[in-house]
Amino acid sequence: MTTVETMSTDGQLLGTVLAVQANFYRVQLHIENKTTKVETEKTDSHPQATAPIMLCTRRTRLKKIGQQVMVGDRVVVSEPDWSGGRGAISHVLPRESELDRPAIANVDQILLAFAVTDPPLEPYQLSRFLVKAESSYVDVLLCLNKCDLISPEEEEEIAQRLRGWGYDPVFVSVYNGTNIDGLLKYLSDKITVIAGPSGVGKSSLINVLIPTVNLRVGEVSGKLARGRHTTRHTELFKLPGGGLLADTPGFNQPDLDCTPEELIYYFPEARERLAKSSCRFSDCLHRDEPDCVVRGDWERYEHYLQFLHEAIARQLQLHQQADPESTLKMKSKGQGKQQYEPKLESKKYRRVSRKTQLQELEHLYQDSED
């Protein structure tokens, strides 16, 4: 059993929400060298804990005003029950950042974990994850696992390619521990969210970064060359060198929910071009507009065009939902292509059925007989 000191303000304690489970919140109290002394001990479920952790509820007042409490929130805990390890969250401090998927607050950076092989590194999938991460407006750190399975020449080739995208990847190997210490330096004293497709070794990487956490690890499917998802909920884990790491439920194809105008700014190589010059038109979408400074031979331009099509389709769908009287509709074409066409007024242009025509002729005949 150890004795630590917690920061206290008028009997209230400050802490960070590590996990949300049903209607309870696990809060790690902030440690400072003054005021209230608290006795804590390591537990089997969270042996890495060296700071006091309380199981808290949310004050009714917060429920009434609709104040959500998220993983990563910095909160005020009042009326602590030290013997029972219980408390109540009475206030949520302003958030510096907020992600919706996963739902987590005050994130400093996103750690995108991919594998260089097994499963193979897919440029389109990687690009999609990178664009989604960039849209969160927090720093993006790219980590490539399983570097022990490729040659130094192949590693350098991949690194050069990704530098052209605007990223300097960190190569690691969970299997033999290559560069794990180097990765920890990027995570120190920050709240980091780890994300990426299944099967790349996210859970194994967390187990290496935080040896006291024992996450269940899934295998890569031999049929699909994809991993089986193992993480079920978002949770923050304390890193040995300082900082917190959030393990998140995996997803293979993240949704791109940005507007068509915003999309280009989530490509670092395109941002670099726009920083040097500007397009002729302020609303340029960088497809076939004249005097566009972005359109060109950069590698991910085709990815941009595909994502742009999705963004336009999504914007039109939202517009139709908001305005049912919209005059446009989306129609599927061959080879998975789609295009937008004007809606026809169904009642005005609908062809009269043969049965209706015969009935009308019969009525005319009867009228003439009468």
Task: Write out the binding residues for GTP.
Answer: 145-148, 196-204
In the annotated binding site, the residues are 145-148, 196-204, 279, 284, 286, 292
In the annotated binding site for Zn(2+), the residues are 279, 284, 286, 292
CA distance 71 to 325: 41
DSSP collapsed to 3 states, the chain: CEEEEECEECCEEEEEEEEEECCEEEEEECECCCCCEEEECCCCCCCCCCCCEEEEEECHHHHHCCCCCCECCEEEEEEEECCCCEEEEEEECCCCCEEECCEEECCCEEEEEEECCCCCCCHHHHHHHHHHHHCCCCEEEEEEECHHHCCHHHHHHHHHHHHHHCCCCEECECCCCECHHHHHHHHCCCEEEEECCCCCCHHHHHHHHCCCCCCCCCCECCCCCCECCCCCCCEEEECCCCCEEEECCCCCCCCCCCCHHHHHHHCHHHHHHHHHCCCCCCCCCCCCCCCCCCCCCCCCHHHHHHHHHHHHHHHHHHHHHHCCCCCEEEEECHHHCEEEEECCCHHHHCCCCHHHHHHHHHHHHHHHHC
Tokens 């440029």 correspond to 123
Tokens 């590693």 correspond to 155
* Whether residue 47 has a cis bond before it, omega within 30° of 0: no
- Please name which of 13, 21, 49, 20 lies closest in space to residue 238, comparing C-alpha atoms: 49
